[in-house]
Structure 1
Amino acid sequence: MKTAGEFRSDDVTAVEETAALQGQLRAGAQAIPVWVRHASKYSAAVTAIDDSALTPGDYDALTLALPGDEVSTGHCRLLIDPSLDGTALRLVALEGIVDFEKLLFSQRFDCLDQAARNVPLVLGYRRNLDAAFRDHVADLSYDLSVYRNLFDRLDEEYRHEPPAVAEALQQGIIEHLGPQMTASLDAYICQLPELTADFSGEQHGHHGYYLRKQIWGALLTSPFLARTNLKPRGYIGDSEMMQMCYRHQHEGGSTFGKLMHFHPVDAAAAQAVRNRRQLVPRLARQLADRLALPATERLKTLSVACGPAMELNDLFLSAEDCQRFHCSLLDQDQQALTEATVQIQSLEARFGQPLSVDLIQESVRTLLATRVLRARWGDFHFIYSMGLFDYLTPPVAEAVLRKLYALLLPGGEMVIGNFHVDNPTRLYMDYWMDWPLYYRTEQEFLDLASSLEGLKAWIDYDETGVQMLLRIRKADP
């Protein structure tokens, strides 16, 4: 198995040591040419280009020239910091609260206080809310507060009991009183299709934002709903969210939080996620049986946007499977690949021998930009992607599919996942979870493969009907 040290990715540490921009530190009519380097996420190490000493204190602005634009931090301050090398002082932007990591490494000008600047616009959303929807949210907020107060009071009642007693009492409350709250949540979610049927895309966004802000405190009690809304890794659907769906348990710091958490991970969309974990290994094993490769040749699989790769537990069922499959796992998120490594190591310990696995840290952008993917990644009998195409526009999805198809060996198969347009959890995901997807019909999904040659394509489903599978088989030569 290739380790994290062998990921095909930029060495961020090396970039941090060398990334620097030229700028001007302005104070009144004075403009001091400076080098600006990374110090921390929200500060920069600044030195004068002519090596003269800078004076600590407040300045009008730091200006930087980016490609096609000039940006200014506004009011900023230089601080003495002995931890910095040489004559460098630490600069903090006080007016814009600038993210210097994005500025220096991605040349993107992003401010922590951007949300504050948008407050007047956001506050204006409520003036254009549909009256029936506003009433819906008011009733929902009230009901959630009633249930929260009830369950928090019960939690307080048995808080000093022995741990085993407290756990048993909480389980009893969840079992006997929880269904009442669950039915209430179901009823509110069932109202969304009628309430929002005539909304435009912009109205969906504004009304969803309003709902989430009104019940924000309740959402944050659920580890799952908190994560979908806060997006700690910067994107939706990360590997920890998938792990929560797989675990399918009551999680949280309170009874109310556990009920709020279990509701979405028990929904149809989460069940589809669990179903596809079992579908993919089954299809891979069926392909291995059909191809009947020589004993010396492994079936080569590629998982694109692999996440924690929990399906490996259903692919490697015996020691013999360690010699039967070679797996390449691709994800842009190093943390996801680290979680996948845990699965691999657990399986290796179980069977007492190494698995044949490559870990590839790449993004869709790299995939599309690289001309010689086969030389970088190899070719494969079985390619699958269950958590990617739901986020791709049709042109990008078609381009990615074309790239992956070029890596498929003759007689090999691809399995691509996408949620169906009739996903019953769709508005729940949009409005409560801030989790929009690109949903597709069967024909729209098949159309992604319309420009490919020499294949058979068809649509399958998981048991819920939420998870569509685009099945592609490449013709033998």
Structure 2
Amino acid sequence: MKQKLDAEESGIRSERDEEHRMLLEAESLHHGEGLLTEALDRFILRMDKMVRHFTPQEHRIHRDYFQKHLHPFLLLSPFVKRAYSKPLGYPGDYEMMRMLYEDHDQGETLFARLINRYCSQLSVARSVMGRVPYMLGKTNRILGRASGNRETVSIMSIGSGPAKEVQELIRSNPKGDRCHLTMIDTEWEALQYCRAKIDVLKGVTRSRIQVGYVNKSIHQLVHHPHTFDLFAGQDLIYVMGLFDYLPFHISKHLIQRLYRLLSEEGDLIIGNLDASNEARYFMEYGAEWYVLYRTPQELIQMVEGISSAQVFVETDEEGTQLYLTVRKGKRPKESLSYPPEVATVFYGKQ
């Protein structure tokens, strides 16, 4: 396929009329995308069944073979290349999240653009993108509940990354003058990017939403919790993606720390990828992107010891993204404040 597309592209680039050239490119991409998607979808399913019971040594041998033969193609994708190279030292950094949220049609050649499109639109990638409407719905519900009595709403994002959901909140609800958001991230670079985007949006929309930026690490939150005492009274704390990389004991400890920062009826929402992700080994072999996948039951176990909390887990329609809610107080679960295709109740207890 690559040879065929490269040959087509060579002919297309000789076309002098730009509009016609773009039309020919679009036709080639449309045709190639269907073929590539069908082939790689089958490949990923077969790969998952084939390697899931391998020993660590067998995984290493087959990963080396995979990379030797497929990296020349996969690393043409800017998204896969960044995932594999990890310039900030870890996968899933703010720039990778930005790549998912923005235009997927990236790459130097038609074939590279197809690979980038495909890898940016795997079911697990769609689940990550689905965090934005999910959290926007949760945030708007809390703002709506507080609007009647004109309370100030405090919201905190841990591992905020590009904070796409905050950008969407400002676009859709710019007059939230009683809303204060705190973005916490270990990467100052991520906070700078986030602030630049939000400042522009606030200028355009004249938003009165207040946003603060805090450069702190999870280590500080876990081992020096009093550093965060000034943030007590949060109506909503959410952590999207960070728990994908934290072992159980640290996750449980962090939940206890964050729970103490909630207001009397506050919610703590944690996103974690589900263990059923069929693209797991494609991600691990292709990009060495390793995630601590969990089941709903394992997420519930993280909250053991907080007897006063209401706990429930939701999943998205892909079945790949889990959302753990730890609720303080006795407020009942509301009706869904987001489209039913975004998430449905999966497992829970009160």
TM-score of the aligned structures, taking structure 1 as reference length:
0.66
1:231 maps to 2:231: no
More strand by share: 1
Alignment check: 8 A CA contact 1:293 1:299 kept: no
Alignment check: 8 A CA contact 1:248 1:265 kept: no
Alignment check: 8 A CA contact 1:344 1:355 kept: no
Alignment check: 8 A CA contact 1:222 1:260 kept: yes
Secondary structure, aligned partner of 2:2: helix
Alignment check: 8 A CA contact 2:220 2:227 kept: no
**Mapped partners of 1:190, 1:371: distance in 2:** 44
1:241 maps to 2:96: yes
Alignment length (residue pairs):
329
Aligned to 2:254: 400
**Mapped partners of 2:60, 2:141: distance in 1:** 43
Deviation at 1:245, TM superposition (A): 1.3
Amino acid of the structure 2 residue aligned with 1:172: E
Per-residue CA shift, 1:422-456, capped at 9, x if unaligned?
11222222222211100111110000011113110
Report the structure number with the largest CA radius of gyration.
1
Per-residue CA shift, 1:218-277, capped at 9, x if unaligned?
122101111111112211001111112112522111000001101111110111111111
Aligned with residue 391 of structure 1, among 220, 227, 245: 245
1:174 maps to 2:11: no
Aligned to 2:311: 457
Deviation at 1:376, TM superposition (A): 4.4
**Mapped partners of 1:175, 1:198: distance in 2:** 36
Aligned with residue 54 of structure 2, among 199, 207, 216: 199
TM-score of the aligned structures, taking structure 2 as reference length:
0.89
Aligned to 1:251: 106
Amino acid of the structure 2 residue aligned with 1:216: H
**Mapped partners of 2:108, 2:289: distance in 1:** 23
Amino acid of the structure 2 residue aligned with 1:357: V
Aligned to 1:190: 45
1:311 maps to 2:165: yes
More helix by share: 2
Secondary structure, aligned partner of 2:225: coil
Aligned to 1:364: 218
Greater shift in the superposed pair: 368-377 or 224-233: 368-377
| More relative contact order, 1 or 2 (CA 8 Å, 6+ apart) | 2
Alignment check: 8 A CA contact 1:300 1:380 kept: yes
Secondary structure, aligned partner of 2:130: helix
Greater shift in the superposed pair: 457-466 or 174-183: 174-183
Aligned with residue 235 of structure 2, among 355, 376, 381: 381
Aligned with residue 299 of structure 1, among 147, 153, 160: 153
Per-residue CA shift, 1:32-91, capped at 9, x if unaligned?
xxxxxxxxxxxxxxxxxxxxxxxxxxxxxxxxxxxxxxxxxxxxxxxxxxxxxxxxxxxx
Secondary structure, aligned partner of 1:213: helix
Aligned to 2:202: 348
**Within 5 Å, which residues of 2 pair with 1:137-156?**
147-156=1-10
Deviation at 1:291, TM superposition (A): 4.6
Aligned to 2:117: 262
Aligned to 1:444: 298
**Mapped partners of 2:156, 2:61: distance in 1:** 39
Aligned to 1:218: 73
**Mapped partners of 1:209, 1:272: distance in 2:** 28
**Mapped partners of 2:64, 2:146: distance in 1:** 50
Amino acid of the structure 1 residue aligned with 2:161: G
Structure 2 residues without counterparts, runs of 5 or longer: 332-350
Deviation at 1:373, TM superposition (A): 3.5
Secondary structure, aligned partner of 1:158: helix
Amino acid of the structure 2 residue aligned with 1:327: L
Aligned with residue 287 of structure 1, among 138, 142, 145: 142
Could you say what the CA RMSD is over the residues aligned between the two structures, in angstroms? 1.8
1:428 maps to 2:282: yes
Aligned to 2:268: 414
Identical-pair percentage:
27
**Mapped partners of 2:152, 2:194: distance in 1:** 20
Alignment check: 8 A CA contact 1:318 1:351 kept: no
